[in-house]
Amino acid sequence: MLKKYASVVAAAGLVTLAPSAFAAPVATASSPDGNVKVELTIDGDGRVAYSVSRKGKPILAPSKLGFLFTDVVKLDRRISVTGQETRDFDETWTQPWGEWTSIRNRYRELKVHLKETTAIGRVFTVTFRLYEDGVGFRYEFPEQPNMPQANIADELTEFAFASDATAWWKPAFLWNREEYLYNKTPLSAVSNADTPVTMKLADGTHVTLHEAALVDYSGMAVARTDGNTLRAALHPGAGEAKVQKKGAWQTPWRTLIIADDAAGVYQSHLMLNLNEPNKLGDVSYIKPGKFAGVWWNMIKGEWSWARGPKHGATNENVKRYIDFAAANKIPHLLVEGWNVGWDGDWFGNGYDMDFAKPTEDFDVKMLVAYAKKKGVRLMGHHETGGAATHYEKQFDKAFKFAADNNYMVVKTGYVTDAAQMEREDADGKKFREWHQGQWMVNHQIRVLEKAAEYKIGIDAHEPVKGTGLHRTYPNYVAREGMRGMEYNAWIGGKNPPEHEANVVFTRMLEGPMDFTPGVLSLKGSEDSDILSTIAKQLALYVVIYSPVQMAADTPENYAKYPNEMKFIRDVPTDWQETRVLNGEIGDFVTIARKERGGEGWYVGAVGDEEARSVSFKLDFLTPGQKYKAEIYRDDDDADYRTEKRHSIIIESKDVTSADSMDMRIAPGGGFAIRIVPAK
Ligand code: NOJ
Ligand code: CA
């Protein structure tokens, strides 16, 4: 049900400047529940700053606003307020798929209109939206004669944290884009970081700094300038200006989620709420579900994407994988290396890739028909190698091919160095673009819009960071954008046991991740060990959210684990409700989710390298109802460091909403529980 109201309180007029540094509050507003408060001040030089507090405690000290341009004087002082207004908003909207069906969007908005007092007299508005669990703000520039075009060298927005904190962050501007492990350091030791950055303050308050609705702008990293102050550091593009805008323009929302604990940060809907509603209309063609893949053997180096004796995407292999998917009620099968372009060393082959031309040993018509008979749909793969314009030139034929062959999702890829995305202009001149630069940000949206024309979903690897655009484009089903399971195939590059407990409270705040869980063999290349127990692999289906979730291991390996496989078969990928029951960043987390269209609950927990116990109440279950809990847990001797990493106990228990559970997690372990009404 939609409930919406808006009231406008306007207070226009010029405000007198105070002589001292940031002494005079010129505008202030609080969230509807009164918890989160923002205050705008202007100092004697006319420099504008905002500060944020929660429950009376300062989160951000006065933090400056402004822009540096490549060609005109910067905009950061001699500014006055020309007017301001507030407005309240409250509505509940529905997600076509997701972790929650229904989402409440309740905020108070404060708009502060500003103008330079100098001859240039540029005008802009800063709009704040205050939520119970944080704040988002953006700059809005109307079309104006004194600034017909903005060539932005950098954004001068500061985030001056009021105290030091522990920060979990990953480095920005490095060649491997977002695929780095998280650092845990004092905030005062952060250098350049890509957002989200999550912090724990001394009193336990958790804060995540990120952005929402990244459209026609470059991605915002942050760089520490001094003490606990971070400043926006935009990703570059091919041109001198990091961002170019014409006419009226606005920035993405700069966001702070603020909560009492780590669980509270995960449960925030602030980022989704700050995005525009669904632009695509009916997206019922997106049906959440699992997928298998002609994939893990390539990642391990046993098969090749390229044609030749080791080619993975052959008719024979694909048919065998379709049989496996059908037998396990897995609706999709990803096939990589099915198309012409991979031959030789495919790194850098972007210009050879043809996304409508299968190799000779991949008979697409026969395979699609074979799959259809068994209730399986193939899932396409478009590895662009970073040749992004070359990809755009193929859009129509590529997505038509996908639609004609009954695909629901295409997995895209941009494997290349950070600044080697290639754009071509109309004359064929090539430019290097950064992965998170303005041009690539817009490229990703062009992919989504084109795919939507053909009713195709997108699962982007090496993507632009997630900023909640899956609300606006609900065919954006998943992204990689972090070190996923593939790193566990590689000797010397494996994800440590704490990785997922970091990722939940950082990367996962960006939205769904194609992490590719479920490698039950716990083996990568050359039989190398994955640093996990088998129970943890099952837990990942609940802990790491994606509406399209992979069963990443090979059919031969899954055949060795029929009892564990039952959980992968049973676990859904679309949720009515999600509750983070407990968790500490990098240590452990337990998440409970209720399936959509059913009464079943699924609980997953992962730990780090230490053994630990966690307890939680089952009070999310319906009172009076009897349930059966199917438990997959680490056995007492399970340990990711030893041959006992496969040691698991699978057992059933009768439970009700009045019960609690005490569960042990082994080193590198976890547990998964399916709770269904007792018959
Ligand atoms: C990297 C992706 O993450 C992986 O899933 C894919 O198989 C390779 N690129 C090849 O496109
Ligand atoms: Ca990747």
Cα 117 to its chain centre, rounded Å, is: 41
Q: 459 with 495, same domain?
A: no
Question: Looking at residue 5, what is its pLDDT?
Answer: 32
Ligand 1: nearest atom to the Cα of 298: 7
Q: How far apart are CA 206 and CA 229, in angstroms?
A: 17
Bridging pattern class, strands 165-171 and 192-201: antiparallel
Q: How far apart are CA 37 and CA 237, in angstroms?
A: 35
For residue 353, the ligand closest to its alpha carbon is 1
215: helix, strand or coil: coil
> How far, in Å, is the centroid of ligand 2 from the Cα of 434?
16
Question: Looking at residue 370, what is its pLDDT?
Answer: 98
Q: How far apart are CA 172 and CA 42, in angstroms?
A: 31
Q: 665 with 675, same domain?
A: yes
Residue whose CA is at the smallest distance from ligand 1 atom 3? 461
Q: Please count the other Cβ atoms lying within 10 Å of the Cβ belonging to residue 201.
A: 18
pLDDT in tens, 360-407: 999 999 999 999 999 999 999 999 999 999 999 999 999 999 999 999
Question: Looking at residue 11, what is its pLDDT?
Answer: 37
Note if 486 is an active site residue: yes
Q: Please count the other Cβ atoms lying within 10 Å of the Cβ belonging to residue 235.
A: 26
Bridging pattern class, strands 57-64 and 648-655: unpaired
Question: Looking at residue 542, what is its pLDDT?
Answer: 99
Q: How far apart are CA 641 and CA 525, in angstroms?
A: 17
Cβ atoms of residues 40 and 22 within 8 Å = no
Domain final position from 481, 502, 537 = 481
Would 563 be classed as within a structural domain? no
Q: 651 with 663, same domain?
A: yes
Ligand 1: nearest atom to the Cα of 336: 7
Bridging pattern class, strands 457-460 and 409-413: parallel
Would 193 be classed as within a structural domain? yes
The first and second tokens of residue 658, run together, are 């009045």
> How far, in Å, is the centroid of ligand 2 from the Cα of 605?
25
448: helix, strand or coil: helix
Question: Looking at residue 21, what is its pLDDT?
Answer: 55
> How far, in Å, is the centroid of ligand 2 from the Cα of 483?
7
> How far, in Å, is the centroid of ligand 1 from the Cα of 461?
7
Q: 488 with 477, same domain?
A: no
Below-50 pLDDT ranges, the chain? 1-20
For residue 179, the ligand closest to its alpha carbon is 2
Catalytic residue among 109, 486, 500, 510: 486
Would 140 be classed as within a structural domain? yes
Burial of 14 (0-12, 13-18, 19+ CB in 10 A): exposed
Number of structural domains found in the chain: 3
Q: How far apart are CA 409 and CA 479, in angstroms?
A: 12
Question: Looking at residue 23, what is its pLDDT?
Answer: 60
* Cβ neighbours of residue 483 closer than 8 Å, sequence gap 6 or more: 179, 180, 181, 495, 499
Query: Best of 336, 346, 550 to mutate for ligand 1, by most ligand atoms within 8 A of CB?
Result: 336
Query: What CATH number is given to the structural domain containing 589?
Result: 3.20.20.70
Would 609 be classed as within a structural domain? yes
CA diameter of the chain: 78
DSSP state letter for 237: -
Question: Looking at residue 104, what is its pLDDT?
Answer: 98
Ligand 1: nearest atom to the Cα of 305: 10
> How far, in Å, is the centroid of ligand 2 from the Cα of 416?
10
Helix axes 364-373, 315-327, angle to 10 degrees: 20
Measured between alpha carbons, how far is residue 637 from residues 369, 444, 495, 501, 587 in Å? 47, 47, 22, 22, 20
Cβ atoms of residues 657 and 623 within 8 Å = yes
Q: 312 with 227, same domain?
A: no
The first and second tokens of residue 591, run together, are 């998440």
Helix axes 438-453, 388-404, angle to 10 degrees: 20
- Which domain covers residue 316, as residue numbers? 290-481
Ligand 1 cavity residues, CB under 6 Å: 336, 383, 413, 415, 461, 480, 486
Domain final position from 244, 273, 302 = 273
Q: How far apart are CA 531 and CA 489, in angstroms?
A: 11
Q: 221 with 256, same domain?
A: yes
Q: 244 with 306, same domain?
A: no
DSSP state letter for 456: -
Ligand 1: nearest atom to the Cα of 381: 11
Question: Looking at residue 7, what is its pLDDT?
Answer: 36
Question: Looking at residue 22, what is its pLDDT?
Answer: 58
The pocket of ion ligand 2, defined by CB under 5 A, consists of: 461
Question: Looking at residue 417, what is its pLDDT?
Answer: 81
